[in-house]
Structure 1
């Protein structure tokens, strides 16, 4: 039976640099862990044993890196089959991937933006449906940060909504990506947030970014979450409700106590939203 994190829950990324600290954590320090199956499929030895230990005692969610949903190369059926076995083995209920592409006659090692066109909507949605069939479960796709727009026949918000509807899949709503894109591309973050489809939101991501300039933010996952992003997360809870929320941190790790303090801030915002809903319900 799959284990879905509770709606009111805060999780951390299962990063190899944090393994010892995650193993040593006290019960309740985090509610779930998220890993990239791409980095763990077929891994054995001490690393594989550690993953199994953590997955046995804490719900695991998964966030893929290399399906290249927006690409033109055929989807890798062998990799999809291995991913399905991994998800089944660890009873993963929430699996997500990026609304981007990362391969073209080889891996590009970056998340590349998809043109915002009707043709791209149909192309990506068909690939998402193929992935859902292969994995035997619904997936969520994440709104991604991007720095160049190859072609925009529609706005980003319309493109995201069209893909979700055409593919009939869920949304992993990355709040930091909304903020970063809003600054970099000149739109209003709260208006974008308000137009996200509540019923399709499976979970949230929140992360830190780098302030390159007033009009250029870089999505790094290597810093503390900024106050404006916390405010946007609180607004997401008000607009769309509380969902499992992951604190993304991929490098430049602070002491575990600092990460846990950020998780406590997520929980505090969730508790405020739940209390407010109860008072108005």
Structure 2
């Protein structure tokens, strides 16, 4: 069993100081946030990586976007992954760039054949360039394109099958989408290919007064998402599991307590 924590600057010095004894197996960072950093943060990161495995979770690949892949970025990314011994590189099945530049948000894509062909081809190019599988996350989305002619699940399964990429199964996103778009999260889980699931994300969400759930990563993991995590472990077996907490970040001890709570829930259900 392997448990991880998103490594954030808010607690990086403390984490680096204590990392040898912390009950965390791996850390996850967004490589874009570290490409140009040196000084104390870079030294703290190196101290952490002496004791913890590194997972990289990107923000700006825009794998399904309309603009050409950014080759200069991919070169720097490959150097970073290799230079820091990253075990995994994951991204989002979404896009974040148009002709005007980066949009600083993850936008949904239409679920149809043309989008599938475009995305699969780009995944292949990225995997060939990096020399490793691309791990893609099922993302939360809040609207559907009228031209979509298949479901989120059908599109995801086709991407996995045709590209050979792996899946970062975000259970918070799965629950949020299942509630917002009115489908069964359990049925979604049951249809996934176990051999393609690389690791899990869990996080908190916000329940909007008008009924929508918003993937905010600003609180602990809900009972519903914890239940999905238990179901996933029972169905697919153990996978590395990461706690995301990116906004309103609490002290490190609270994050460690939340991770320990999740660990105990899984152990009790095993």
TM (norm. structure 1) is 0.91
| Residue of structure 2 equivalent to 1:95 | 89
Q: How many Å separate the matches in 2 of 1:207 and 1:152?
A: 28
Matches within 5 A, 1:102-141: 102-105=96-99, 106-141=101-136
TM norm structure 2? 0.95
CA contact (8 A) 2:171 2:229 kept: yes
2:257 corresponds, among 261, 274, 279, to: 261
Report SS of the residue matched to 2:234.
helix
Structure 1 residue corresponding to 2:164, chosen from 147, 157, 168: 168
For residues 223-274 of structure 1, what are the alpha-carbon distances to aligned partners after superposition, in whole Å with 9 as ceiling and x for unaligned?
111111100110111111110000000021223222112211332244346x
CA distance, structure 2, for counterparts of residue 269 and residue 81 of structure 1: 41
Indicate whether 1:156 and 2:152 are aligned: yes
The question of 1:49 aligning with 2:43 is answered yes
How is 1:170-185 mapped onto 2 (pairs within 5 angstroms)? 170-185=166-181
2:76 equivalent to 1:82? yes
Deviation per CA, 1:39-97: give whole Å up to 9, x if none.
10121111111112112221110001000001111111111111111111111121100
In structure 2, the residue matched to 1:194 is: 190
Uncovered stretches (5+) of structure 1, i.e. residues with no partner: 1-7, 277-281
Secondary structure of residue in 2 paired with 1:147: coil
Between the aligned partners of 1:83 and 1:144, the Cα distance in structure 2 is 22
Kindly indicate whether the alpha-carbon contact (under 8 Å) linking 1:183 and 1:215 is maintained by their aligned counterparts in 2. no
> The residue matched to 2:198 in structure 1 has which SS?
strand
Tell me the residue number matched to 1:31: 25
Is the 1:101–1:113 contact (alpha carbons within 8 Å) kept by the matching residues of 2? Answer: yes
C-alpha distance in structure 1 between counterparts of 2:88 and 2:139, whole Å: 18
For the 8 Å contact 2:90–2:137, the answer to whether it is kept is yes
**In structure 1, C-alpha distance between the alignment counterparts of 2:231 and 2:211, rounded to whole Å:** 22
Q: Distance in 2 between matches of 1:94 and 1:272?
A: 28
Aligned mates of 1:49, 1:242 — CA distance in 2: 32
Q: How many residues align?
A: 267
Q: Which residue of 2 aligns with 1:5?
A: none
Distance between the aligned counterparts of 2:42 and 2:173, measured in 1?
Answer: 31
Structural RMSD (CA) = 1.3
Counterparts of 2:41 and 2:71 in 1: how far apart (Å)? Answer: 26
User: 2: distance between equivalents of 1:190 and 1:111?
Assistant: 25
1:212-251 aligned at under 5 Å gives the runs: 212-213=208-209, 215-251=211-247
Tell whether the 8 Å contact from 1:61 to 1:93 is kept in structure 2 after alignment. Answer: yes
Shift of 1:214: 6.7
Bigger shift: 58-67 or 251-260? 251-260
Aligned to 1:145: 140
Residue aligned with 1:24, SS: helix
